[in-house]
Each structure stands twice: as structure tokens, then as C-alpha cells.
Amino acid sequence: MRILKYKEAISEATVQAMEADNSIFVTGHAVDYPSGIFGSTTAAAARFPDRVFDCPSMENGFAGIAVGAAAMGKRPLYVFPRADFMFLSFDNLLNLACKWRYMYGGNAGRVPIVFRAIVGKGWGQGATHSQSPHAPLAHFPGLTVALPATPADAKGLLLSALTGQDPVVIFEHRALYDTEGPVDEAMTPIPFGKANIVREGSDITIVATSFMVSEALVAAEELAARGVSVEIIDPRTVRPLDEKTILASVKKTGRLIVADTSWELCGFTSEVAALVAEKGFHHLKAPVRRIALANCPAPVSMKLEEAFYPKASTLANAALQLLGKASTDMAHIDQESLFKGPY
């Protein structure tokens, strides 16, 4: 199978879906610029110049236009270079798009709108440019929320979104755009609600989202050298959530760490901890451990930002603590952030 970068997989999925369905159009800030959102929309803009266009900074109004277009038979793919810009569109997304099929009982069609929202580490851009609101969005019935961690998932989940009937938000971590991996050339959608067992293990389960999957893999390699076997579960979608795969893994290992790219309180880590406490408590050999962002907005200072994000060493030491082992200095396994902006 071919090796593609994460951004190339998104680009290929977009072009293939637009070739198959002429009702799809792409909009958002800078989608038709030469930079093309890390190159993920460049090929679509060249192939379909009339269906890929920039939009003004009027997120709430334009989201309303996109919802209306979806209700009338179009398939908008609305790209937000930063998820933070999407906050202004929540009224139309949450009060209209995701309630549509419930309010009208199927008598007013469906709203197959797709939002791509870019999240993750900045380069010192601070509190309003580094947030990942996947947990609050997953709170709302009618909305699918996906966080692809690999190139194959980036393509497969986007294809599911662009061929489905309901609103979907896909969160893409900007540190993943140059990640490489095998990607099927065919149009093969990945179903929502089906977790990926990234690595099998027997001592401890790490449920990780988005970029934290990469950090968990690094931690697992280090722990394997110390005789600790780690199982990594990537839920792919936080709504719907594959409870069965998570509970089966905890039943096998008896220990759980949940690692997320957002905050802990009322977040995804809390949801998974509650799930296991409610339905798998009798399997646990130790308390659940949550790994999330520091309990404050992202700082502007690069040094403080480095401390703000949990890393592979954070996960590895948490695993050792759960196993009753002493934590050690593992700074050598932490990856240098290569992202330098501007998007």
C-alpha cells in the first residue's frame, strides 16, 4: 500500500469525494490560497475551481448559509484553519444542524454538513488559538465528532463524513499533517464508532485521542524496554464512542490511562473514566489516571507552552506509577515540536 502524509490523505479524500458527488463544495478561510490549508485543499481547488472558494470572516452567518445549502441538497465542507474560529458558528451548528432530523422527523431532509477544524500546539500563539472543543461538541446528540490520528484514518473518516447524511466535525491536529503512513488508494470509508487497537498489550491500557496516540506509541516503546506491555486504543470518534473495545481492553489489562488533547474537567478523559467506573470497575487493579492539558488556557511563552502540553514522558511515568514503580527522568523520549507556523 502507498505511503502518504496526513495532509495528502485529506486532499485525496476530498478530490475523490468531489469527483463522485458534484453536490460537494469546499469553503473556509484560505481554502483556495496556494498554501491550501497545509496543502490539504490545493488539489481540490485546482481540480474544481468553481466548487472551492474562500469565505469572509463571518463564521456564524456563513455557517447558516452552509446549513441552508445542506438542507437544500448540497454537501458543504467548511474548513476552519483554527478550531477557535468555529466557536462563532455554534448557534447554527448546534441549534440547527444537529437537531434537524429530530425536530422535523425526517420530513425536511437531512443536513450533511462537514466541518474540518484544526487544533493543537501553536508556536506561542496563546489562549485563543490552541483550543480543542471536541468534548463540548460531543455533548450534543445528532453530531458526530471525529479525531483522526493517522493518514489512513484522516482519509477514511473524511470519506464517511462526505458520504453520510448527518453533520460531522473532524478535528485535525496540526502536528500530524506531515505524519506518514499507509493509505488505501480506493475510496474506503472508515465507520464512525469503531475504535482502532493501535498496539496490543497486557499490563496497561492507554486510551488516547489525536496527537496523543503518537505520544502513547513513543511511551509504549520506552516502557516495552522496561518490561511493561502497553495496549493503545484510539477511539477515532468521541461521539459515537466505541465503549465495547475500551471495556474489553480494560478487562484484559486491569489498568487505564486516558490521554487527551484538551482539558480534564468535563472532558473526554472524564467521560472514559466514568464509563469504566460504571461498567468495568470490577476489572480495575488501580485507579484510572487522566492525562490532559494543564488547567489553564494555553500560554504565549514558548517555555510555558512546552510545560502546558503532556508528552510521551508524562504518559510513561504515569504508567510506571500505576504499576507501583518509581518514576524516572524520561525527557530523552519527548519529541521536538517541528511546527513553526503560521497555520
Active site residues: 59, 129
Angle, CA of 135, 138 and 144, to the nearest 5°: 135
b or e along 39-78 (b: 16 or more beta carbons within 10 Å of the residue's beta carbon)?
Answer: bbbbbbbeebeebbeebeeebeebbbebbebbbeebbbbb
3-state secondary structure of 257: strand
DSSP state at residue 265: T
3-state secondary structure of 230: strand
Q: Rounded to whole angstroms, how far apart are CA atoms 65 and 77?
A: 12
Q: How far is CA 197 from the centre of its chain?
A: 16
DSSP state at residue 111: -
> Is it true that the peptide bond before 189 is cis, omega within 30 degrees of 0?
no
**H/E element holding 135?**
helix 134-138
**H/E element holding 215?**
helix 211-225
End-to-end CA, the chain: 30
Of the CA atoms within 13 Å of residue 2, those in its CB half-sphere come to 11
Number of H helices, E strands in the chain: 13, 14
Q: Rounded to whole angstroms, how far apart are CA atoms 162 and 16?
A: 10
Closest listed residue to residue 80, CA positions, set 42, 141, 26, 137: 26
What φ, ψ does residue 245 adopt, rounded to 5°?
A: -65, -40
C-alpha cell at 273: 473514566
